[in-house]
Structure 1
């Protein structure tokens, strides 16, 4: 049976502060944000972590990147442009999509996390624009901003995510809500990763250091977004197990394998096996490895049991934002993490990763 969802009331004088009456969806919420009295402590910890990660793209200098870009190989330049075009499109639409999901979430602390994520997606979109206005010429910038609809490969993989988003927006059933959350989970946990790996491959060659610094900051944020949707899906499974029947589990697994195949095909198409340290075979195993990790984190069976080891551990070394870095301006040793709570990301990856 299909159950339509109702948007939560903005003003609900009949709402209850009794936590036993609260739930992720369908709860009788007052909409009052009370972190000291909330149903989901994980959301409070996550919100504090996200809040502590505030950063400003313009603080990262890109003068050296502008000088280096013309000296990149043709393959590196093309991969740079295509990867940015993909990131720009999906991070931009996330801003609105998160608000659509939040309209049906009846846990104010979880809504706060979604709104915080939307804010950071805006920073990410600004970061990509900052890269393009600072590093490449105006004609290249225009090319990148229209590539998402001109490149058939990019258009096809963007539609997979956006169709799932719009299916819920225009037909807000509980089943479509689950699938939309899963699409967010896959976007944050699978879809960006061959692109991140490409930028880190440049970083290993001491190329485009400012770009790599911005990508590190963006991926650090994406880890919190991934943690958010991991917890949302796990909470839904606990509170509404009937939504995750055998048919739905098969469909969610199918979404994982589709996202993995899309990301592998895209990564190989973008790099053309011509980026030092990033072969087609490595991309294939890396994305499948991530697919296994993501499935384990939400209690789905691993779709690629043959992939056991991380094929590119250097990616996680580059991505780590808790390692000591050098300040952009004063050149003194600092740590990017300004503040935050002890949020545990171990449920997102096995021991040894990261």
Structure 2
């Protein structure tokens, strides 16, 4: 086995299996009816509309680009598991739509968010720009082809999963910090864990490529990465403005400046992980997000602990052909 760490990531993902049926939305409906005002409901409707399309975009790129060109068997094992998790996330978000948006007309509008909500359309167009160059590449024949693939991989790790989804998770945990939508937060814990694993796998692939083809990582590539991440931060900031200032009543306790600061903080982390200097020098302004690095503690008999892992039996030899 040439890349045993990819195989270990696959095993870890298997241990972290969860199902949508375990998420209890019973208190969420009461919160939506009785405890949330127009501004909060606008936020959640926009957020669910984003979720309904975001993971589908990631899954499409996973199949059309990453699996095609990452041909190490161990990497493809992990990518196959990731595709299952993306499908699970889509199921979770569809369940959110059914639960939170019972009106068929409103639900159809949420599905069409890419066409009729400018802030979500901008996110999709950003992803499409970095996905489109991969469409005609059957093989990565040249260094330029390999750079195109690298930029696609980094876009979906650092920007789509590492900024767009991290920004979306921040709204969920903000609402949880106010005692709202515990079902959404519980499911998001598991999605957050999955997405963090996807991002770290992609960054590890970048590390391997850097080791095996260091000439690809020149100043021009670094400049493109910084430009990409800056654009993603600006794009997600506009989404924040839509969510938090899109109604006559702004969401109390959370501002666009707060979200912008958090996005800049995340962007610096992504750049450092890619061995580039931080761009913003930002600190995390959202104290409730700092807690997400701590494994959740819960009474096992009251609710399912999101950090729970299923056992995987067996071992792997590292001195034989895969």
Equivalent position to 1:311, from 281, 285, 291: 285
CA distance in 2, matches of 1:293, 1:300: 10
Q: How much has 1:334 moved relative to structure 2?
A: 4.6
The answer to whether residue 38 in structure 2 is matched with residue 74 in structure 1 is: yes
Q: How much has 1:123 moved relative to structure 2?
A: 0.4
1:267 maps to which residue?
A: 240
Structure 1 residue runs of 4 or more that deviate by more than 6 Å after TM superposition: none
Q: How much has 1:313 moved relative to structure 2?
A: 2.7
Q: Secondary structure at the match of 2:154?
A: helix
The C-alpha deviation readout for 1:251-298, integer Å capped at 9, x for no partner, is 111111111111122122211292233212211111101100111111
1:22 maps to which residue?
A: none
The answer to whether residue 133 in structure 2 is matched with residue 167 in structure 1 is: yes
Equivalent position to 2:182, from 198, 205, 209: 209
CA distance in 2, matches of 1:323, 1:278: 23
Q: Secondary structure at the match of 2:51?
A: helix
CA distance in 2, matches of 1:93, 1:256: 18
Q: Secondary structure at the match of 1:192?
A: helix
Q: Secondary structure at the match of 2:112?
A: helix
CA distance in 2, matches of 1:151, 1:222: 24
CA distance in 1, matches of 2:228, 2:75: 24
Q: How many residues align?
A: 299
The answer to whether residue 51 in structure 2 is matched with residue 87 in structure 1 is: yes
Q: How much has 1:188 moved relative to structure 2?
A: 1.3
TM-score by length of 2: 0.87
Which structure carries more relative contact order (alpha carbon 8 Å, separation 6+)?
2
1:123 maps to which residue?
A: 88
Q: How much has 1:335 moved relative to structure 2?
A: 5.7
CA distance in 2, matches of 1:263, 1:206: 25
Is the CA contact 2:17–2:310 (under 8 Å) kept in the aligned structure 1?
A: no
**Which runs of structure 2 are paired with 1:167-186 in the superposition (5 Å)?**
167-171=133-137, 173-185=145-157, 186=159
**Which runs of structure 2 are paired with 1:334-345 in the superposition (5 Å)?**
334=305, 336-339=307-310
Q: How much has 1:194 moved relative to structure 2?
A: 2.1
CA distance in 1, matches of 2:304, 2:130: 44
Structure 1, gaps ≥5 residues long:
1-37, 342-354
Is the CA contact 2:52–2:93 (under 8 Å) kept in the aligned structure 1?
A: yes
Cα RMSD for the two superposed structures: 2.0
**Which runs of structure 2 are paired with 1:112-151 in the superposition (5 Å)?**
112-138=77-103, 139-151=105-117
TM-score by length of 1: 0.79
Is the CA contact 1:99–1:115 (under 8 Å) kept in the aligned structure 2?
A: no
**Which runs of structure 2 are paired with 1:50-69 in the superposition (5 Å)?**
50-69=13-32
CA distance in 1, matches of 2:149, 2:220: 15
* More off after superposition, 113-122 vs 91-100: 91-100
The C-alpha deviation readout for 1:296-328, integer Å capped at 9, x for no partner, is 1110121113x2x321131132x357221245x
Equivalent position to 1:292, from 265, 268, 271: 268
CA distance in 2, matches of 1:198, 1:240: 39
2:118 maps to which residue?
A: 152
2:319 maps to which residue?
A: none
Q: Secondary structure at the match of 2:135?
A: helix
